[in-house]
Chain A
Amino acid sequence: MSNPHNGSYHYKIGLVGPSRVGKTTLITSILDDSQSLLEKTLVSLSPKDGATRKRINENRNYLSGAIKAKHFNPGALAGTEEAFTYDLEMNVERQNMISFSFMDYPGGWLANNPEKWRQSCDSWLEESTVLLVPIDATVIMEANTGIRKAAVPHILHIADVQEVVREWAKARKRRPNERSVLMLVPLKCETYFSDNGGTRKHEEILLKEVKDWYGDIIKIPINEEIPNNKIYYCPVDTYGCVEVKKPNWAKKDNIPGGQEFSAEFRFRSTNPQIQRKAAGDVLLLLCKHLMGIAYYQTQEVVNDMQSDLKDIVRELDLNRAEEDAKWFWTKAYEWVTGHNKTKKAIESGESKKTDLLKMISSNDQKAKILLEGISTMLKEKDLERAEILAI
């Protein structure tokens, strides 16, 4: 966890969604293009270790390979079998300021493996300052009959997601000073937006559907009265160059909801290329939020340090007065024995004072850089699609 007093700013990003909803795809989408998405800002992202870098690269290869093969497979990314953390570093003005991690895990743990969920995900989500809820937009948009609509909560495990969001909100409440963000992120939205080569203009319908299906989840942070919380809606085009050709609903009596959903996609052009849209919104909001937290935590550290400095100066004055008031024989005795507690206390106080002054100055500098970094990020009104649902 983050410990600003040691100069370490580490944050956890939580993801909650069932199996095959697109957790890995979301992480890949927002990290893959990070260089280009952040190019006009003072901020840059880099993988913290080789495992993270290799994993992002491999995910990218899977996705681009699926497009280049000209035979689109929405399940190109191999399913996740073991939990994996993507560790990243955020540099502001080329200085390493913040590190953060996403945890990806097999979505089946959410509903069917409570033991694994408890072991691996519970504490992670409790400490997460940001919670991302990926939503398969095709499921909620293509459910066009009563039976299919009835299956949507089962397919997307909305009740399980809601339970996790409630726990997260309670944990946030226990940390009232730490700002938090809940993001609802519909994925595979290219079919329903017209701003990225699509023909349908169903963006308002998608928003309405998300609010309908996830309304109770949106209300949780408000009902729990979490201070300093924002809820965003960020629809993302995962591929950009494809759209739903045929939704397939299959009747399955042995599964909850009785319906199974999959979709066939087609390419929009003969020379398709990944053309993501609005993944940058998630990334920018994420970076801005983390920098904001780091900025406030730095300020708190500076305030704490200044108060410590006052105490040290006061103690130094007292020790100096005590040293001055010493009788000649006491001084002589201390000089002969070499034991002078007051003198040592003064020396240690002086050294502490110097160190604190240095740290205050360094933290002030950090806060300044963070503020500059935030100022170069896009304003909320300039984001491509994201909008705020509640504060």
Chain B
Amino acid sequence: MIMQIYLRTRGKSRDLDYKWLDKSPHEEWWQPYSRICKFDDRSILVAVSEKSFRIFLSGIPSSRKDQHNTAIRFTLSIEAATQEEFREILPIISVWVSEIKSGAESIIGDFLDRSFPGEIIDSILSGAADLESGKIKSAVLEFAGQCPSNVAYKKPKYFSWVGDIRSKNGCSYFLGSINDFTTTKTGLALYGNFIENLQDAEAIPSQNYDCLAVLAQLDHPIENIAELKKKAAPQTIPTQHPERRPPLGLHKLLPAIILFLIAITALIFIVILIMATTQGQQNTSLLQKIHPKGVVPPGSATNLLNPIQIKQPLPQKTQTKQDRTTY
């Protein structure tokens, strides 16, 4: 892959709205930051990962105005393929950061106006003409070559930090962080026009980067940079193998099983006892049938088993009138 540079602007006529000249980026990688950076205004977004070096500069003022007298802007999206290519672009970043801070006229805008005059842009956007292949890239690299190459930067003491763009050293630290991206670290650096405080800055999604450098116009300006607590990446929950069934947990049932066995044993014992008692009563009534008077002759089997003399059975209790009244 080679370095890709894309340029977006609009034409004078009502119909020639903002559009990428020539070709558009394959991926709108800056979109996740659209509620942090106001891309209709001066902003910068630099995202360096292990695989890519991406730079997005928006709100670069043009001297052109549209039919309604509204100021027109340029947007540059740069995708460098190597660290060397990224270093080539650093001077433009440095110039643009100082232009965001000053809010003054833009030399980048002037250069783009000179390289891409209004009539050419109008004819490209209306489809009447085609842009010369590689023209945007050559123009931007030519401008980078004209920018001062000795970028003044300071090394920030934090990996992730927020600073006020109006402060003395905010921009130098910002460039320092971006310079670090050219060596070993991955990082995200941006000027967030929608950021108002530290909490807003801490909410920036940056888990995929080692460093986060944020410039903003804070509600309560700070002179030095403040460290940002990076949010930890969400912990991944190990997924359970679908075929592996969870253990049954029989050990939890052990007390219940023991209790159940004791209960069963007790139950069997009670049943045997009841059966034995019932058998005894049956034998007695059999003997009573043999000896209707209820007297067991001496030496009989029952008498041998039960040495207690079986007495005459008690007469059945008949309910008297008096008894009923006591109830």
Asked if A269 CB lies within 8 Å of chain B CBs, one says no
Number of interface residues of A (CB under 8 A): 38
Chain A residues near B71 (CB-CB < 8 A): 78
Asked if A223 CB lies within 8 Å of chain B CBs, one says no
Complex contact A336–B260 (CB within 8 A): yes
Q: Which of B17, B35, B36, B58 contacts A108 (CB 8 A)?
A: B17
**CB within 8 Å for A106 and B194 given contacts A79-B66, A81-B58, A84-B34:** no
Residues 147-158 of chain A: 1 if any B CB is under 8 Å from the residue's CB, otherwise 0? 000000001000
Q: Which of A49, A51, A336 contacts B263 (CB 8 A)?
A: A336
Residues 333-376 of chain A: 1 if any B CB is under 8 Å from the residue's CB, otherwise 0? 00011100000000000000000000000000000000000000
Min CB distance, B24 to chain A, in Å? 9
Complex contact A106–B18 (CB within 8 A): yes
Complex contact A20–B260 (CB within 8 A): no
Asked if B115 CB lies within 8 Å of chain A CBs, one says no
CB within 8 Å of B: which of A70-96?
Answer: 73-84
Chain A CB within 10 Å, residue with most, of B17, B75, B194, B259 = B17
Asked if B41 CB lies within 8 Å of chain A CBs, one says yes
CB within 8 Å of A: which of B35-89?
Answer: 35-36, 38-41, 58, 65-73, 75
Chain B interface secondary structure, helix, strand, loop or mixed?
Answer: loop
Complex contact A50–B200 (CB within 8 A): yes
Chain B residues near A381 (CB-CB < 8 A): none
Chain B residues near A54 (CB-CB < 8 A): 38, 193-194, 196
Q: Which of B15, B72, B196 contacts A50 (CB 8 A)?
A: B196
- A62 to B53: give the CA distance in the assembly, Å: 35
Residues 1-42 of chain B: 1 if any A CB is under 8 Å from the residue's CB, otherwise 0? 000000010100111111100000000000100111011110
- A84 to B18: give the CA distance in the assembly, Å: 14
- A73 to B68: give the CA distance in the assembly, Å: 8
**CB within 8 Å for A81 and B40 given contacts A20-B14, A108-B18:** yes
Min CB distance, B262 to chain A, in Å? 10
Asked if B237 CB lies within 8 Å of chain A CBs, one says no
Asked if A254 CB lies within 8 Å of chain B CBs, one says yes
- A78 to B72: give the CA distance in the assembly, Å: 8
Pick from A109-117, A191-199, A287-295 the stretch touching chain B.
A109-117
Asked if B301 CB lies within 8 Å of chain A CBs, one says no
Asked if A252 CB lies within 8 Å of chain B CBs, one says yes
The number of inter-chain residue pairs (CB within 8 angstroms) is 105
Chain A interface secondary structure, helix, strand, loop or mixed?
Answer: loop
Min CB distance, A4 to chain B, in Å? 26
Chain B residues near A338 (CB-CB < 8 A): 256
Q: Which of A19, A49, A74, A78 contacts B14 (CB 8 A)?
A: A19
Min CB distance, A328 to chain B, in Å? 13
- A80 to B19: give the CA distance in the assembly, Å: 11
Residues 252-267 of chain B: 1 if any A CB is under 8 Å from the residue's CB, otherwise 0? 0100100110010000
Asked if B304 CB lies within 8 Å of chain A CBs, one says no
Q: Which of A49, A55, A109, A256 contacts B38 (CB 8 A)?
A: A55
**CB within 8 Å for A75 and B40 given contacts A50-B200, A54-B193, A338-B256:** no
Q: Which of A49, A73, A80, A254 contacts B40 (CB 8 A)?
A: A80
Asked if A260 CB lies within 8 Å of chain B CBs, one says yes
Min CB distance, B38 to chain A, in Å? 7
Asked if B303 CB lies within 8 Å of chain A CBs, one says no
- A113 to B259: give the CA distance in the assembly, Å: 77
Complex contact A49–B35 (CB within 8 A): yes
Complex contact B39–A81 (CB within 8 A): yes
Complex contact A78–B73 (CB within 8 A): yes
Closest 3 CB pairs of A and B: A108-B17, A75-B68, A75-B70
A-B contact pairs, 28 of them (CB 8 A): A18-B15, A19-B15, A20-B14, A20-B66, A20-B70, A49-B35, A51-B38, A54-B38, A54-B196, A55-B38, A58-B41, A74-B68, A77-B70, A78-B41, A78-B73, A81-B39, A82-B40, A83-B34, A84-B40, A107-B17, A108-B15, A108-B18, A108-B19, A113-B17, A260-B67, A336-B259, A336-B263, A337-B253
Known contacts A18-B14, A73-B68, A112-B15; 7 additional CB pairs below 8 A are A19-B14, A49-B35, A75-B66, A79-B40, A80-B18, A108-B17, A109-B17
Q: Which A residues are closer than 8 A to B by beta carbons?
A: 18-20, 49-51, 54-55, 58, 73-84, 106-109, 111-113, 155, 252, 254-256, 260, 262, 336-338
